[in-house]
Chain A
Amino acid sequence: AQTVTQSQPEMSVQEAETVTLSCTYDTSENNYYLFWYKQPPSRQMILVIRQEAYKQQNATENRFSVNFQKAAKSFSLKISDSQLGDTAMYFCAFMTRGAGSYQLTFGKGTKLSVIP
């Protein structure tokens, strides 16, 4: 069974600063995908960034980037130039092919507060 661990229940960062959210996972699979989702107070789940395990290059989406360390099974999210709108719960998620379908397994989330 796959597990996803986010060791930081809460974090805060000053506006315009950089913050890194940690995520580790456990799997025996070789082909899988990793995601970071954002859930603002509106509750909407929004995909932030995605990483394919077979790609060595770290994914980047504007101010969001990941540090993917496959051997260490680590997948951290770096948010640069933090903005007030980045305040949200952030969920790390793992996807692999289960019986008949691809299935997302989520971590317990990190609550990020951006301070003006």
Chain B
Amino acid sequence: DTAVSQTPKYLVTQMGNDKSIKCEQNLGHDTMYWYKQDSKKFLKIMFSYNNKELIINETVPNRFSPKSPDKAHLNLHINSLELGDSAVYFCASSQDFLTQYFGPGTRLLVL
């Protein structure tokens, strides 16, 4: 009965590879988000989708592409991975915008 789930929890990969992180929420929320938490614990929003439409796209390299096949899913695809992409990526969802429910995070390590 997990509210916001992410897969995988850990991802170790080589530089230059392409990888995806999946996010699913079973709360019926309209809005989903992706955040990046760097090695210094700084958490910053990357994208926000509302009803499958992109509404926030912060200054993120275009190697990062969110994809929302339906309202309950917001996947993050990353092309040509770089060392600096190593971080913890959090998915979140909200209905009333005030309360965001976060997933458990995906720790990405690029070697």
Contact assessment for B45 and A108 in the assembled complex, using a CB-CB cutoff below 8 Å:
no
Closest beta carbon of chain A to B90's beta carbon, Å:
6
List of B residues within 8 angstroms of A102 by Cβ: 97-98
Q: A101-B50, A101-B56 are in contact. Are A108 and B102 (CB under 8 A)?
A: no
Provide the main secondary structure of the chain A interface: strand
Chain B contact-residue range equals 20 to 34
* A55 surroundings in chain B (CB, below 8 A): none
Question: Could you tell me the dominant secondary structure of chain B's interface residues?
Answer: strand
- The smallest C-beta distance from A103 to any residue of chain B, in angstroms, reads 6
- Across the A-B interface, how many residue pairs have beta carbons closer than 8 Å? 53
Among the listed B44, B56, B98, B99, which residue makes an inter-chain contact with A100, where contact means beta carbons less than 8 Å apart? Answer: B56
Contact A44 B104 (CB under 8 A): yes
> In the docked arrangement, what's the CA distance between A108 and B37, Å?
10
Identify which of B41, B55, B102, B104 gathers the most chain A CB atoms within 10 Å of its CB.
Answer: B41
Does B66 make an interface contact (CB < 8 A)? Answer: no
A103 near B45 with CB under 8 A, answer yes
Q: Can you identify 24 A-B contacts, CB atoms within 8 angstroms?
A: A33-B98, A39-B41, A43-B88, A43-B104, A43-B105, A44-B102, A45-B43, A45-B92, A50-B99, A91-B43, A95-B97, A99-B55, A100-B55, A100-B56, A101-B48, A101-B50, A101-B56, A102-B97, A103-B48, A103-B56, A106-B42, A108-B41, A108-B42, A109-B41
What 7 new A-B contacts, CB under 8 Å, besides A44-B104, A50-B99, A99-B56? A42-B104, A45-B43, A47-B99, A91-B43, A95-B97, A102-B97, A108-B40
B residues in contact (CB < 8 Å) with A: 31, 40-45, 48, 50, 55-56, 88, 90, 92, 97-100, 102, 104-105, 107
Q: Which 7 A-B pairs have the closest CB atoms?
A: A45-B102, A102-B97, A106-B43, A100-B55, A101-B55, A43-B105, A109-B41
